[in-house]
Amino acid sequence: MKILAVAEQRENKFKKPAFEVVHTARKIADQTGGEAIALVIGSQIQSMAAELGGYGAHRIIAVDEPRLEKYSSTAYSKVIAEIAKKEQASVVLIAATAMGKDCAPRAAVKLDAGIGSECIALKTEGSDITATRPVYGGKALTDIKINSAIKVFTLRPNVFASGDSSENKAEVEKAEIPLAESDFSSVTVETLQASEKLDVAEADIVVSGGRGLKAAENFKMVEELANTLGGAVGASRAVVDAGWRPHSEQVGQTGKTVSPTLYIAIAISGAIQHLAGMSSSKYIVAINKDKDAPIFQAADYGIVADAFEIVPALTRELKKITGK
């Protein structure tokens, strides 16, 4: 069985989900006696592609041409589908990132393949794969099997292990996929990066604030705590709807689903739609003055007290450890 892992790069850098996808492909290959093939799409990416050997790729294919420098859903999905066909891959793994979620459904249609999106577990039995994915915003999980010849899975970032880079090496093979003008009917003209700010969905530590903080300016203490921990700031829906924080920070069913190692919920009561988006975090800390707040049911550690008193003290105490 051949497993094609699409290793996403942006501005010629890999982010962690690329390694997670390659490492997962290798694991499936080891279990099935198959081959893990990493695919990198971009411009001038041949040398960086070699790094994927360390994460377990048996082979690395680079589709390298100037027009692929920036993301295009139409062109990237064509490259993925053409390489999958050429290599006769039976499984295609793509990270469930903004880019991956945009091009995977297209590639699936081109391959006449079923798709399981935002998977959080893949279980192999023989050549059979059962995928687990959250539904209803994380209030339920579903186990699925794909019955088409080719199977496409997108993997939720931060859930699958990326492994540590090893001594394993693989040659980078250059592949040409002929692309017509019409394959670039949608193209990225500009990337507007907000800042070097860590995205709440990618962060290992998330500090979120809720309506109990009373005003937008009181998020300063949430930011300070997040900075001390090297984490990202999140927000509840109430706070985003009130315009205190941007929607990109919203955690919950109509925001982002996060599964960091540590999630600190400050003055968040824990509405069901919020819990759905963060309850898969490894450790949850709740700080709320209402002892009956549902957030305490989801938390590993709780402090029942006023956030305005606790949070600055917590930041000070943590600084002793982090040295920041």
Between residue 281 and residue 310, which ones bind another protein under the rule CB under 8 A?
A: 282-286, 291, 296-305, 309-310
Site for another protein in 87-106 (CB under 8 A): 97-99, 101-106
Please check whether residue 33 is in contact with residue 2, taking contact to mean a CB–CB distance below 8 angstroms.
no
Whose Cβ is closer to another protein: residue 12's or residue 186's?
186
CA dihedral 116, 120, 125, 130 (to 10 degrees): -40
Q: Which residues contact 258 (CB under 8 A, 6 or more apart)?
A: 200, 201, 203, 206, 234, 251, 277, 278, 281
DSSP string covering 58-81 = SEEEEEE-GGGSS--HHHHHHHHH
- Interface with another protein (CB under 8 A), residue from 144, 159, 175, 238: 144
Distance CA 102, CA 36 (A): 23
Site for another protein in 212-231 (CB under 8 A): 229
Site for another protein in 146-205 (CB under 8 A): 146-148, 185-199, 201-202, 205
DSSP string covering 223-267 = HHHHHHHT-EEEE-HHHHHTTSS-GGGBBSTTSB----SEEEEES
Whose Cβ is closer to another protein: residue 3's or residue 285's?
285
Cα–Cα–Cα angle for 82, 168, 107, rounded to 5 degrees: 20
Q: Does 32 bind another protein (CB under 8 A)?
A: no
Distance CA 295, CA 288 (A): 8
Per-residue DSSP letter, 152:
E
- Interface with another protein (CB under 8 A), residue from 135, 161, 216, 242: 135
Q: Quick one: which segment of 21-29, 61-69, 72-80, 161-169 binds another protein (CB under 8 A)?
A: 72-80
Nearest in space to 96 (alpha carbons), one of 70, 120, 69: 120
In the complex, least distance from residue 36 CB atom to another protein, rounded to whole angstroms:
23
Site for another protein in 249-288 (CB under 8 A): 250, 252-255, 261-262, 271-273, 276, 279-280, 282-286
Site for another protein in 103-132 (CB under 8 A): 103-106, 108-110, 113-118, 130
In the complex, least distance from residue 57 CB atom to another protein, rounded to whole angstroms:
23
In the complex, least distance from residue 170 CB atom to another protein, rounded to whole angstroms:
27
Whose Cβ is closer to another protein: residue 147's or residue 215's?
147
Whose Cβ is closer to another protein: residue 47's or residue 305's?
305
Q: How far from chain centre, in Å, is Cα 154?
A: 10
Per-residue DSSP letter, 159:
T
Site for another protein in 228-247 (CB under 8 A): 229, 246-247
Nearest in space to 117 (alpha carbons), one of 127, 98, 131, 137: 131
Distance CA 61, CA 173 (A): 5
In the complex, least distance from residue 167 CB atom to another protein, rounded to whole angstroms:
28
Whose Cβ is closer to another protein: residue 88's or residue 185's?
185
Q: Quick one: which segment of 26-34, 44-52, 133-141, 167-175 binds another protein (CB under 8 A)?
A: 133-141
- Interface with another protein (CB under 8 A), residue from 85, 86, 317, 324: 317
Whose Cβ is closer to another protein: residue 29's or residue 284's?
284
Encoding tokens for residue 318?
């943590």
Please check whether residue 178 is in contact with residue 75, taking contact to mean a CB–CB distance below 8 angstroms.
no
Whose Cβ is closer to another protein: residue 147's or residue 176's?
147
In the complex, least distance from residue 181 CB atom to another protein, rounded to whole angstroms:
11
